Structure 1
């Protein structure tokens, strides 16, 4: 059940099955009495649960001290009256103040704990940000854009559309789209502050204007529903442990009749010649490595099923192969080297792989580079593209 206070721009919901009480919106009462309905609902919810009670504030955009003090006191009283109950507060890093504010309760009450939802939902975030990916992402986009500029047209992209690029990363794709298609509006959203800082810098250096960069959680976007004609999300569903949550949000912000466009990989289908056998072995192991960290680098061909399950229709799907023949073979080699650095470096070590395995693992990447740079060689990296319409 969802309830709200007409005098306030916030709402609350209690899920009995999950024992979770959620707050969302802007919680800024003038006095405690303004919260009577919400606080009564919170008290009633606590009285019905056992073991662990969840307070979810990850969609609470604003909260003043009146509200925080009232909720903090209610939780403190609960800890005193119900010592058998553990209280788990779930915040979001994209709403910067929430973790800091509620952490104070954790420090003074041993039965209260605070966790950031994003850190659990984005299992690969540290690898992507800290593992050396940012320097190579522009090279990847340069090689994929060679194919995608025409694929986008086939999937419905045209000038003047209201567009959102979700999980925009360092923003290079958004810049290329802005220059090529001149959308009427372009919002670029990402969960990484460092990536967005880089994106703004690149756009400024290239003199590109009109891109609205937004810091946000792709699974809980603070964007209004039904506002974009074309929504893109590239190489991202494969990084999340619950891609269906992202698709639900892409569906929500897309206008009825609009389209969502996604790209993802199936890394075990990477190929090269000569030395194909060692290359194939390594990329099969890449898939297993990602699965260990609750990510799915094999997601590409699954796109159609996921789009159908999310409620889309008119699904279009195709694939393309980025190769060493798309430009300078060294660019392709640089991408593979960056993969080796992260996969056979930080990720394999964190999984606990032994030195012998890592050495063999690395060899496959080096053989892929050898194939890319060989004068008679061929090396490929396959990508699946899918788009679908939100029914009218």
Structure 2
């Protein structure tokens, strides 16, 4: 993924990760599984494959993939150390001693050409400053006949009920902040164009949705979002766009209010890209 907001340069891309790697964000990412986050990829995986997981975060998806392709080798990367520590802790908890977690930038991968059978990125392209270069690099390190896979949310396509005004305000601010960082929050709809620009030809495109529509999941989703967007990292970036702490606190209250509504419903729409590289 990208370096945390406010950290300055992080290799070639000099990205800022809009959401930061604060505890609320890592805790949310830590609930992700291969089944919930890359089901479109699972049918092409086989035991013995070598997989690179770009933007591995706290490692839950990475380690799930490792179970699927065992005894193959899986490597997870992040450009900053914080999430890698959480990923290594998760590996230790699971008793996985073979999956590796390394610091690397997707815009300049430190791997040889044709190194992996699968190169995967979940919620990464929306945060990088140059998603076409990211896909080009992912394809470079993927072997002929291998797979490049990416799944990204599309903020403009998100939908919810009840119509809490603070959530509209949240989305507008988030999109402004992300684009101020050189990122693209409406990434899902752009995957086809980015793949074409990166020279990927044999492309399969799909969509999937995370749906929160029961008391427990809505309460978790609303609380998680409230904690993220009143946190220090996002607040510092939002301040650069004229958003003050009082406004963010009001948005946080809106998330809490939405999360306890008896008919709360939220849909996160994702675009999915699965590209097979030519054999030669």
Q: Deviations over 1:224-246 (max 9, x none)?
A: 10121111011111111112221
2:182 aligned with 1:270, yes or no?
no
Structure index of larger Rg: 1
2:198 aligned with 1:310, yes or no?
yes
Question: CA separation of 1:118/1:266 partners in 2, compared to 1, >3 Å: closer, same or farther?
Answer: same
- Structure 1 position 146, deviation (Å): 4.4
2:242 aligned with 1:352, yes or no?
yes
Cα distance in 1 between the residues matched to 2:227 and 2:203: 33
Cα distance in 2 between the residues matched to 1:122 and 1:326: 40
1:271–1:379 CA contact under 8 A, matched in 2:
yes
TM-score, L = length of structure 1: 0.62
Aligned residues: 271
- Structure 1 position 345, deviation (Å): 2.7
1:380 corresponds to: 267
Cα distance in 1 between the residues matched to 2:215 and 2:94: 22
1:158–1:183 CA contact under 8 A, matched in 2:
no
1:217 corresponds to: 105
1:226–1:255 CA contact under 8 A, matched in 2:
yes
Deviation larger for 218-227 or 267-276? 267-276
More helix by share: 1
TM-score, L = length of structure 2: 0.84
Question: CA separation of 1:338/1:261 partners in 2, compared to 1, >3 Å: closer, same or farther?
Answer: farther
Cα distance in 2 between the residues matched to 1:276 and 1:391: 48
Deviation larger for 305-314 or 124-133? 124-133
CA RMSD of aligned residues (A): 2.8
1:191 corresponds to: 79
Counterpart selection for 1:332 from 218, 221, 246: 221
1:146–1:326 CA contact under 8 A, matched in 2:
no
Counterpart selection for 2:144 from 256, 259, 272: 256
Cα distance in 1 between the residues matched to 2:19 and 2:162: 30
Alignment of 1:1-392 (within 5 A): 118=10, 121-125=13-17, 127-130=19-22, 132-139=24-31, 141-142=32-33, 145-148=34-37, 150-154=39-43, 156-182=44-70, 184-275=72-163, 277-325=165-213, 328-329=216-217, 330-342=219-231, 345-354=235-244, 357-358=247-248, 361-370=251-260, 374-392=261-279
2:58–2:84 CA contact under 8 A, matched in 1:
yes
Q: Deviations over 1:265-292 (max 9, x none)?
A: 1112222211255433431332122112
Structure 1, unmatched stretches of 5+, are 1-92, 94-115
Question: CA separation of 1:357/1:287 partners in 2, compared to 1, >3 Å: closer, same or farther?
Answer: same
Q: Deviations over 1:78-106 (max 9, x none)?
A: xxxxxxxxxxxxxxx9xxxxxxxxxxxxx
Q: Deviations over 1:281-323 (max 9, x none)?
A: 4313321221122221111110111011111122111222212
- Structure 1 position 123, deviation (Å): 2.9
Cα distance in 1 between the residues matched to 2:66 and 2:104: 21
Structure 2, unmatched stretches of 5+, are none
Question: CA separation of 1:188/1:195 partners in 2, compared to 1, >3 Å: closer, same or farther?
Answer: same
Cα distance in 1 between the residues matched to 2:246 and 2:92: 46
Question: CA separation of 1:318/1:276 partners in 2, compared to 1, >3 Å: closer, same or farther?
Answer: farther
Cα distance in 1 between the residues matched to 2:18 and 2:155: 20
- Structure 1 position 120, deviation (Å): 7.2
Secondary structure of the structure 2 residue equivalent to 1:298: coil
Cα distance in 2 between the residues matched to 1:360 and 1:381: 22
1:179–1:208 CA contact under 8 A, matched in 2:
no
More strand by share: 1
